[in-house]
Amino acid sequence: MRMFLNIKLNKFELSLWIFSLVVLFISYFVTKSSLINLLATTTGVTALMFLAKGEPLGQLLTIIFSILYALIAFKINYFSEVVTYLGMTLPSALIALVIWYRNPYEKSKTIVKIETLNRKQIILIILISLIILGIFYYLLKVLSTPYLLLATLSIFTSSIASLLTFFRSRYYALFYALNDLILITLWLLATINKITFIPMVICFMVFFINDLYAFYNWKHLEKSQIMRKD
């Protein structure tokens, strides 16, 4: 716990985090959205900031976000999101929390040791993701999930991103960014019937920016770790 409290954000990260929170709070008050929307979005963007730094604390916050977000999605029958976040993102974050915490780059710190994928790992990730895609496509079809194609694509990109976190690959952030674009579309469709879901659209726009930063920062961290190793 003491190591978690020593986590520091640089000036850019602090500015990005504050900017994200301000945008989310403004959208919440303007649209008079629900409190759970605000809690979910602010928890989620905070989780992304720590994930971008390679900190296991981000996975812990992701678990909390998954529960809150699943409740929001359940209210409008976005079963794909409920299944994705409770059945995949939450347990994946729990497993990744343990893996990241046990694989720090330096003993006295919590920043995860970043790895490069090999061919076998890439093939394994693709095969598992395709199996998940097939299973959940059928399940979502049975549940008459709205926007089935988008919902299925959301699960597919999320499954790849989750598996990449296990292997501590920086490409996890790139697939979460792709997933953000899908979710922006899904929540835009939801706002047609209820304008109070606009904060969720803004939420994933903010998530998209943060995930792109995570991809960039992990590349920087990876180079830094390689240089120190040499």
Could you read off the pLDDT of 109-123 as tens digits, one per residue? Answer: 778 888 889 999 999
CA dihedral of 78, 81, 82, 86, whole degrees rounded to 10: 180
pLDDT of 58: 92
Phi, psi of 168 (to 5 degrees): 55, 45
Q: pLDDT of 148-206, one tens digit each? A: 888 889 889 999 998 999 899 999 999 999 999 999 998 898 888 777 778 888 889 99
pLDDT of 128: 94
The confidence band for 230, taking pLDDT boundaries of 50, 70 and 90, is low
- The per-residue pLDDT of the chain, averaged, comes to 87
Report the predicted TM-score, pTM, of the whole model to 2 decimal places.
Answer: 0.86
In a domain, 203, yes or no: yes
In a domain, 214, yes or no: yes
pLDDT of 63: 95
The confidence band for 2, taking pLDDT boundaries of 50, 70 and 90, is very low
Residue 145 and residue 78 in contact, taking contact as beta carbons nearer than 8 Å: yes
pLDDT of 3: 44
Token pair of 92 as six digits: 């994946």
pLDDT at 1 over 60: no
pLDDT of 7: 63
pLDDT of 190: 84
The confidence band for 49, taking pLDDT boundaries of 50, 70 and 90, is very high
In a domain, 3, yes or no: no
Query: Under 8 Å CB-to-CB from 113, ≥6 apart: which residues?
Result: 103, 104, 105, 168, 225
In a domain, 44, yes or no: yes
Q: pLDDT of 74-109, one tens digit each? A: 887 778 788 888 888 899 899 999 998 888 887 657
In a domain, 170, yes or no: yes
In a domain, 210, yes or no: yes
In a domain, 75, yes or no: yes
Name the residue range of residue 120's domain.
10-229
pLDDT at 4 over 50: no
Q: pLDDT of 14-34, one tens digit each? A: 999 999 999 999 988 888 878
Q: In whole angstroms, what separates CA 137 from the centre of its chain?
A: 21
pLDDT of 5: 47
Domains identified in the chain, total number: 1
pLDDT of 171: 95
